[in-house]
Amino acid sequence: MDTRDAIRARPGEWSQLTHTYARDVPALSVPWPAVRFPDPRVLGRNDDLGVGPVELPTLVGDGVDTRALAYAGHQWGVYKPRLGDGRALLAGELPDGRDLHLKGIGPTPFSRGLDGRAAVGPMLREYLFGEAMHALGIPTTRALAVVATGERIERDGRELPGAVLTRVAASHLRVGTFQYAAVSEPGSLRALADHAIARHFPDAARAVRPYRELFGRVVDAQAALVARWMLVGFVHGVMSTDNTTISGETIDYGPCAFMDAVDPATVFSSLDTTGRYAYAAQPEILRWNLARLAESLRPLDDVEDLVDEFPRTYERYWARGMAAKLGLSTPDAALATDLMALLHAQHVDFTTFFRALAAGTARDLFLDRAALDAWAVRRAPLVTAGRAAMDRVNPLYVPRNHVTDAALAAAEHGDLDPFHRLLAAVREPYVERPGLADLTRPGTGPHVTYCGT
């Protein structure tokens, strides 16, 4: 098939998309047309999403009711009353209720003077990380396709190839959407909350206090999510409230990465000079973001006391997850916490450690072997799982920084083979295959992702 056919909407196909969001809360988005690009070319198409060919077109044709979503958000702790989709548009909702969203599709009323574009590298990165997270069992938005636009765009003084990412998400409701409604469109707040309930937690509608129930569900979903990030060493990088979903999915992969050597202060964003969004800071930042959601919901119900439950809920998910990683049937938070301190002190690679523990070779990773031995003596009587069971929860292949950077650099120059090789590896993260050993080696030196997203 000609790639142009694959990516251009054919008449009628988009009629399957609905807009319940625009219908329920019209004040929270604006109709806005997509830019048409002269020479689009498909770089990657995800056939694993259960989205049939009818919904596949990735660039928008005439007559499609695309909309830019309004939202606010705390970025780096500072409230921005009007962020919104500055370079993205909602094409609509698929028959199964998920959003189809296009990123890098041109300027909108929310662009604030920026170009509304996205570059090939960061959009392929979002595709790669979304697939990696999904394969790890972590809720996430996912790419349906990445399409090179044929344009060159400027980032940090460099000319880069432009791209549009089509992504599928449970929804694009964010903490920042509620902040925007509460502050700027208070008449829409209740309808927004009702929409969120109907979409993500329908049985909460029957609760005596549905908005309190909604908030409790979001707290639980986000506690589970951030625990899972911590359990794979994932650092999101920009946990602003507009990048925190109501659904509990990971969203907006910018300067994110998987940690190599354990260090609680690990950051990857060149902008994060204070460590606000560092690895170990993530649960507390999430709690802070949820407190902002609680404030926004205040006109509907008093939910702020539920914010205090977040740390306990998070700890429970984390300790349970660590128990599985360590081959224990009962959580032991002290054993897990002490291990993290030990891995930090000994600069041990996070991902490598758990596979080595299962294989019986963990001692080789430590300079101070006596320290590991003392910890292992505490673990030994609690172990119930063997190597195979541990390998099923501890990934071997994650998108490591040095490998990801090399693959994206090659893709920018037209060679997509390293990208597809890495994508295939992280899509099956637990099963060792021959010929992929280079993907499992930690990088050397600190890694920084510059915010040229």
404 binds, among Mg ion, ligand AMP, none (CB under 5 to 8 A by kind): none
Out of ligand AMP, Mg ion, none, which partner does residue 83 contact, by CB within 5 to 8 A per kind?
A: ligand AMP
Rounded Cα gap, residues 449 and 402, in angstroms: 11
215 binds, among ligand AMP, Mg ion, none (CB under 5 to 8 A by kind): none
Nearer to ligand AMP, 103 or 355 (CB): 103
Q: How far is Cα of residue 411 from the mean position of the Cα atoms in its chain?
A: 22
Give the three-state DSSP class for 246: coil
Binding partner at 220 among Mg ion, ligand AMP, none, C-beta below 5 to 8 Å by kind: none
Q: Indicate which single residue of 33, 86, 311, 418 sits in contact with ligand AMP (rule: CB under 6 A).
A: 86
Which of these segments, 83-91, 277-285, 316-324, 345-353, binds ligand AMP (CB under 6 A)? 83-91
Name the nearest CA neighbour of 449 among 287, 318, 174, 254: 254
CB of 65 to ligand AMP, least distance (A): 20
The answer to whether 83 contacts ligand AMP (rule: CB under 6 A) is yes
115-143 exposure pattern, b = at least 16 Cβ within 10 A, e = fewer = bbbbbbbbbbbbbbbbbbbbbbebbbbbb
Say what angle helices 401-412 and 417-426 make with each other, to 10 degrees: 140
Query: Closest CB to ligand AMP belongs to which residue?
Result: 86
- The answer to whether 84 contacts ligand AMP (rule: CB under 6 A) is yes
Query: How many chain residues interact with Mg ion (CB under 5 A)?
Result: 2
Q: For Mg ion, which is the closer residue by CB, 104 or 395?
A: 104
Residue partners of 335: CB distance under 8 A and separation at least 6: 326, 328, 375, 378, 379, 382
Backbone phi and psi for residue 90, each to the nearest 5 degrees, phi listed first = -85, 120
Residues 108-127 that bind ligand AMP (CB under 6 A): 110-111, 114-117
Minimum distance from CB of 139 to ligand AMP (Å)? 18
x/- binding map, residues 247-276, to Mg ion, per CB under 5 A? -----x------------------------
Q: Which is nearer to Mg ion, 252 or 391 (CB)?
A: 252
In the set 85, 99, 220, 242, the catalytic residue is: 242
Q: Using alpha carbons, select from 125, 118, 119, 46 the residue that is nearest to residue 407.
A: 125
The distance between the two most distant Cα atoms of the chain, rounded to a whole number of Å, is 69
Contact region with ligand AMP (CB under 6 A), list: 79-87, 275-283, 394-402, 429-437 = 79-87
Angle, helices 175-184 vs 189-200, to 10°: value is: 160
Please enumerate in sequence order all residues whose Cβ is within 8 A of that of 13, keeping only pairs 6 or more positions apart, or say none. Answer: 54, 55, 57
Q: Site for ligand AMP (CB under 6 A): which residue of 140, 141, 269, 453?
A: 453
Active site residue 242: yes
Helix-helix angle 333-345:310-326, to 10 degrees = 70
Q: Which of 93, 252, 260, 349 binds ligand AMP (CB under 6 A)?
A: 252
| Separation between Cα atoms, residue 100 and residue 119, nearest integer Å | 19
Residue 254 found at the interface with ligand AMP (CB under 6 A): yes
x-or-dash string of contact with Mg ion, 227-246, rule CB under 5 A: ----------------x---
33 binds, among Mg ion, ligand AMP, none (CB under 5 to 8 A by kind): none
Q: CB within 8 A of 272, min separation 6: which ones?
A: 237, 255, 278
How far is Cα 345 from Cα 204, in angstroms, rounded to an integer? 45
Choosing among Mg ion, ligand AMP, none, which partner's interface includes residue 20 (Cβ < 5 to 8 Å by kind)?
Answer: none
Residue number, 225 or 238, with CB nearest to ligand AMP: 238
Q: At what angle do helices 175-184 and 282-297 cross, to 10 degrees?
A: 30
Which single residue is written with the structure tokens 């590298």?
121
Of 41, 47, 57, 44, which Cα lies nearest the Cα of 7?
A: 57
CB-CB neighbours of 440 under 10 Å: 18
The least distance separating Mg ion from the CB of residue 80, rounded to whole angstroms, comes to: 11
Q: Which of 58, 241, 243, 440 binds ligand AMP (CB under 6 A)?
A: 243
Whichever of 83 and 136 has its CB closer to ligand AMP, that residue is 83
**Closest CB to ligand AMP among residues 87, 98:** 87
Q: Which two tokens stand for residue 113?
A: 């003077």
User: Containing H/E element for 305?
Assistant: helix 304-307
Figure out which of the listed residues 227, 238, 303, 328 binds ligand AMP, where binding follows CB under 6 A.
Answer: 238
Phi-psi region of 157 (alpha: psi -120 to 50; beta: other; left: phi over 0): left
* Min CB(123)–ligand AMP separation in Å: 11
Nearer to ligand AMP, 46 or 243 (CB): 243
Where does this chain bind Mg ion (CB under 5 A)? Answer: 243, 252
Active-site residue list: 242
Residues interacting with ligand AMP, by CB under 6 A? Answer: 83-87, 110-111, 114-117, 238, 243, 252, 254, 453
